[in-house]
Structure 1
């Protein structure tokens, strides 16, 4: 048993009840560059941007929609806390927002012109 102030606890303290340490949060944010999910997500966004520039607006929009959908699936399937790049809120909120973004980007992509190549014809 550990005694903290006047409160006696047994075992570990649930994450929700732990005291926030700003230094630990800063160290964790600096270590985020070592997390693979951030690199994969950033790389996917760069690839989608290159697709939009090289192939066309529509292809890039679909690539962004697929990335958002893939992130939603990963967030839903992997155990909590999940990938750092897409774990911001509760799992249900993250998945819902990512699905919403994927559907919205996909719908907007359908109505967008296909870039400068289609206007030159």
Structure 2
């Protein structure tokens, strides 16, 4: 019994979901506070090349309001623009979903017509 007590004493406290008595569990951590909504329009004005290749000559760039990422701490928004292909052929309107965290555009993904970006409202940047 003394050996088991000595082993447990060296382990410290178990995490909040461990199957041990409550007095031995650590306090659950509070989730970090959510980030303030980013100013996506300003971010795109300053960093348009983080979403579009310069040779695509983005025109009529529009952005949706930011929304919290459902399974994370960041934000997502949809961006639309009229683009041109590398050969100079017009591609028409293309829509991208961008992921933002810590005031930085981390990722972009081209979306299809049936994506939720289709139902968003857009404002020019």
TM-score when scaled to structure 1? 0.23
Higher RCO by CA contacts (8 Å cutoff, separation 6 or greater): 1
More helix by share: 1
More strand by share: 2
